[in-house]
């Protein structure tokens, strides 16, 4: 498992395992379920990005994390009740995005640009094809490409 996926899986497990302990005192069932859903999302994203990710796969993960960070900052701005939790989540999402972006820059050029052959079975190949297609539509420039 690559480092960003390992960190993401660890954070997801931490959210799932610790949320009941942290939120037991406040008796805030909404916060508890929210953190558990976010933890489950982290585990799914870790599973998807774990096997030999291409630059496109990592770039899409960075986009998801940055969107999550932005949504949490917006929530912190408008909902004082959720401010602490939202700021924590925004920081975690930004850190995970930074780790995935750094990992993408360290890939060999063929994998960074998504042109290398898939190294896994059918699901990994499907993941890579989907990531390339989505990245062409959402990522400003391919990872490693030099600006024109």
Residue 148, Cβ density class (10 Å: 0-12 exposed, 13-18 middle, ≥19 buried): exposed
99 Cβ contact list (under 8 Å, min separation 6) = 3, 4, 7
Task: Indicate whether this model's pTM tops 0.95.
Answer: no
What local confidence, expressed as pLDDT, does residue 34 receive?
86
Predicted local confidence at residue 48, as pLDDT: 85
Output the CA angle 26-29-30, nearest 5 degrees: 110
Tokens 């059918």 belong to residue: 122
Segments of the chain with pLDDT less than 50: 116-118, 142-148
């Amino acid at each position: 498992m690559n480092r960003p996926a390992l960190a993401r899986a660890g954070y997801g497990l931490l959210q799932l395992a610790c949320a009941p302990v942290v939120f037991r005192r406040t008796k805030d069932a909404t916060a508890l379920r929210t953190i558990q859903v976010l933890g489950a999302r982290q585990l799914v994203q870790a599973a998807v990005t774990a096997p030999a990710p291409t630059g496109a796969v990592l770039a899409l993960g960075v986009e998801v994390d940055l969107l999550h960070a932005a949504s949490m900052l917006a929530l912190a701005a408008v909902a004082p009740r959720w401010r602490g939790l939202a700021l924590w989540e925004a920081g975690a999402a930004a850190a995970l995005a930074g780790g995935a972006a750094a990992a993408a820059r360290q890939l060999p050029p063929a994998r960074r640009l998504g042109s290398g052959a898939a190294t896994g079975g059918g699901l990994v190949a499907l993941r890579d094809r989907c990531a390339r297609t989505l990245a062409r539509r959402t990522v400003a420039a391919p990872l490693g490409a030099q600006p024109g």
